[in-house]
Structures are given as structure tokens and as C-alpha cells.
């Protein structure tokens, strides 16, 4: 517990943060360590003392300039697990000491036609953690309390971090794919997001077929209980009721559509996809095959996913990096050298 004096002491302190200086190839070390005032939570916000922050491919896109930073020296990181240490005016959802997760979706307007219709993932004026707002590559960050998540006790901080982006987006993709109960699901690409999604689908009784060029990923898929694992464009051994494309590779759209049974759906999970080659209507779309994209997520998706992940015993494997080695973690992600998900650990994390 803190008394008022100690809170003041924290407020006066500065903190370390790792920010995007000059975006460029990760080998140029675009992240730089900066000294910042510990941020003050505004009305409706809480301040979070960061424990760990997962490293997402979006952070790499930001550091390399593929995703344009909204301002100089923005702090990446949107898979944040930490502890509430100060409340802004009117904040009452959490108490100091509560463990929370801070995800990509940081704010929605609440008044546009999409927000009003419960489709806040399509909000016309959203803000995102670690892009519009400073994220979790830092000792502290502030978050609108309504956009933070309760982290189920089943997960250690490190295990929970990848759930907050990779997990939630994969979960929304799964729901968008309209997989029927006990249905046949194809997963194209098998990285962090797909291996979490596979565990949810398997726990719900699906037959899962994994299509990926990585032999190591195929072995992991079979260990997790997938029915089959084949090459990235191979036909699966049976027609699919639903499929999710995780690999950002547009040339996989035609074979994935061709693998669908009548009435099946292919959901594209990525924020980015290379060009899709021409489709043949008879082969790829007729017989009511559907093709859909997935854009961000709602808070409802996130809450539902975290509860299910705990109930089903979803496991994530992670590799810790001290926060000072954020450039190395991103370089390892770019070079496919991370075993499981990279997670940055705040050297001054709460005990």
C-alpha cells in the first residue's frame, strides 16, 4: 500500500522508456532509450506500472516505418501486463495493486454509428496503444480504465502478454470464420496468433488442419492436437467448414478458398496482405463460399477470449528479454529467431 507521500514521490520521478527515434531497418536500432516524466493518469484513466510487454509484429512495422509513427519518439508496445499504481479523477473500476492488461485498442469514440451499433472495432475515430498513445516499452503507461482487461489468475504475467494482441485477434478471426461446432478448421500459417487460436478451436471440439511451410510449426501443431499438418498451399485431407489465413500472403487466398466446403468461410486475420491473385468464380467463390477480413476487435471479444483461454487452459510459450534489449527482440522477431513469443521484462517490475 502507498500513502500519499509515496505517490507524490513516484509522480516526481522520471522513468525509462524505449521509443522510435528514426524509423528504419531493425538493424539500424530504431528504438532509443529516453528519460520521461512518469505519466499522470487523466480523468477516467489509471496509471500502470509495467511488469512485462509482449513484442508484436506491429511493433516491428512501427520501428521500421512500414506503419508510420503518429509522432516522433512514440513508445511501442500493446501487450502490456502490469499493476495499477495510481487512479485518475473519477476512476473506480480498479484499485491500486490490481493486475491489468493493456491491449492495442486504447480508445473508441463511443458516438459514431459503428460504436453505437456495438461494432467499435470499426470506430471512425479510434486510438491505439503503442501507436497513437505511448505503449508498454516503458516502466509506466496510462490507459483509459474502460479499455484495460482483468487478467485471469491462471496466467503468469509473461504467459498473459501474448494473449492481449495475438490471442484476441486470433479469437475474433475464429468467430468471423463461422466455424460450426465440431467443424473442420484450416489454419494457414502457424505463428503466435494461430497456435493460440488452435487451442481454443480444439478445446471446442474442432478438427484442425494446419497448413504452413515451417516444419517446426507443423510439429508443434500436431503436438497440440491438430488432425493434420501440411505445406502452406497443400490441399487439406478433407474439405473445410472454415479457414483462417494468418500468413500475410495473398497468393494463399485461392488455395484456401478452394479448400472450403460449400458454404465455408475464409477469414483473413492480418492487418496487411500482399496482393490477392485473380480468383475463379466457380472454383473459389461459388456454392456460397465467403471471404472476409478481420479489423481490430471489440472489448467484448477481448473479455470473452481471456475468460475462455483461462477455462480451456490455453498455454503460450515465451522468451523473455530485458527491456533494454528491445531492438534485439525485434531483430530476432524479424529474423524468425524467437522461440515462442518475445516478451520484454521491465527491470524495475513490481515484485
**Nearer to Zn ion among residue 67 and residue 323 (C-beta):** 67
Instruction: Output DSSP code: residue 28.
Output: G
Which residue intervals of the chain are DSSP H helices? 4-12, 57-64, 113-116, 157-160, 166-176, 192-203, 215-224, 253-258, 299-312, 326-334
Question: To the nearest whole angstrom, how small is the minimum distance from the Cβ of residue 61 to Zn ion?
Answer: 9
Q: How many Å apart are CA 221 and CA 238, to the nearest integer? A: 17
Residue among 52, 106, 115, 174 that touches Zn ion (CB under 5 A): 115
Question: To the nearest whole angstrom, how small is the minimum distance from the Cβ of residue 248 to Zn ion?
Answer: 13
165 binding Zn ion? (CB under 5 A): yes
Which residue in 325, 326, 323, 329 sits closest to 342, CA to CA? 329
Site map (CB under 5 A) of Zn ion, residues 2-31, x = contact: ------------------------------
Residue among 109, 273, 279, 285 that touches Zn ion (CB under 5 A): 109
62 binding Zn ion? (CB under 5 A): no
58 binding Zn ion? (CB under 5 A): yes
Q: How many Å apart are CA 56 and CA 75, to the nearest integer? A: 13
Q: How many Å apart are CA 29 and CA 21, to the nearest integer? A: 9
Instruction: Output DSSP code: residue 178.
Output: T
> Which range of residues in 104-112, 154-162, 174-182, 209-217 is near Zn ion by CB under 5 A?
104-112
**Nearer to Zn ion among residue 33 and residue 127 (C-beta):** 127
Cell digits for 207? 478438427
129 binding Zn ion? (CB under 5 A): no
273 binding Zn ion? (CB under 5 A): no
56 binding Zn ion? (CB under 5 A): yes
Cell digits for 132? 497513437
Among all chains, which residue has been given the C-alpha cell 494468418?
A: 246
341 binding Zn ion? (CB under 5 A): no
Which residue in 93, 95, 102, 92 sits closest to 140, CA to CA? 102
Do residues 209 and 240 lie in contact, with contact meaning Cβ atoms separated by under 8 Å? Answer: yes
271 binding Zn ion? (CB under 5 A): no
**Nearer to Zn ion among residue 161 and residue 291 (C-beta):** 161
How many residues sit in the footprint of Zn ion (CB under 5 A)? 8
Question: To the nearest whole angstrom, how small is the minimum distance from the Cβ of residue 162 to Zn ion?
Answer: 9
Tell how many helices (H) and how many strands (E) occur in the chain. Answer: 10, 17
156 binding Zn ion? (CB under 5 A): no
138 binding Zn ion? (CB under 5 A): no
276 binding Zn ion? (CB under 5 A): no
Footprint of Zn ion on this chain (CB under 5 A)? 56, 58, 108-109, 112, 115, 123, 165
Amino acid at each position: 500500500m502507498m500513502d500519499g507521500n509515496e505517490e507524490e514521490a513516484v509522480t516526481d520521478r522520471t522513468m525509462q522508456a524505449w521509443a522510435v527515434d528514426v524509423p528504419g531497418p531493425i538493424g539500424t536500432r530504431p528504438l532509443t532509450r529516453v528519460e520521461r516524466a512518469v505519466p499522470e493518469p487523466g480523468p477516467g484513466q489509471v496509471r500502470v506500472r509495467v511488469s512485462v510487454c509482449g513484442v508484436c509484429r506491429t511493433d516491428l512495422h512501427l520501428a521500421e516505418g512500414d506503419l508510420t509513427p503518429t509522432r516522433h519518439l512514440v513508445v511501442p508496445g500493446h501487450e502490456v501486463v502490469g499493476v495499477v499504481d495510481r487512479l485518475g479523477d473519477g476512476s473506480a473500476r480498479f484499485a491500486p495493486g490490481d493486475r491489468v492488461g493493456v491491449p492495442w485498442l486504447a480508445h473508441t469514440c463511443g458516438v459514431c454509428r459503428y460504436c453505437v451499433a456495438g461494432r467499435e472495432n470499426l470506430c471512425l475515430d479510434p486510438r491505439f496503444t503503442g501507436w497513437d498513445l505511448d505503449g508498454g516499452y516503458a516502466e509506466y503507461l496510462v490507459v483509459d480504465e474502460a479499455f484495460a482487461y482483468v487478467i485471469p489468475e491462471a496466467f503468469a504475467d509473461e504467459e498473459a502478454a501474448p494473449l492481449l494482441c495475438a490471442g484476441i485477434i486470433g479469437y475474433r478471426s475464429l468467430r468471423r470464420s463461422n466455424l460450426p461446432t465440431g467443424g473442420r478448421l484450416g489454419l494457414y500459417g502457424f505463428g503466435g496468433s494461430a497456435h493460440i487460436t488452435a487451442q481454443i478451436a480444439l478445446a471446442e471440439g474442432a478438427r484442425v488442419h494446419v497448413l504452413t511451410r515451417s516444419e517446426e510449426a507443423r510439429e508443434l501443431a500436431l503436438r497440440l492436437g491438430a488432425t493434420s499438418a501440411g505445406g502452406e498451399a497443400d490441399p487439406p485431407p478433407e474439405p473445410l467448414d472454415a479457414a483462417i489465413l494468418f500468413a500475410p500472403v495473398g497468393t494463399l487466398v485461392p488455395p484456401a478458398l478452394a479448400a472450403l466446403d460449400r458454404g465455408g468461410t475464409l477469414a483473413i486475420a492480418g492487418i496487411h496482405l500482399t496482393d490477392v491473385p485473380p480468383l475463379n468464380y466457380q472454383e473459389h467463390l461459388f456454392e456460397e463460399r465467403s471471404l472476409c477480413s478481420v479489423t481490430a476487435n471489440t472489448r467484448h471479444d477481448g473479455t470473452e477470449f481471456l475468460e475462455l483461454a483461462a477455462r480451456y487452459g490455453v498455454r503460450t510459450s515465451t522468451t523473455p528479454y530485458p527491456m533494454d534489449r528491445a531492438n534485439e527482440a525485434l531483430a530476432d522477431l524479424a529474423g524468425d529467431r524467437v522461440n515462442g513469443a518475445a516478451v520484454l521484462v521491465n527491470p524495475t517490475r513490481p515484485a
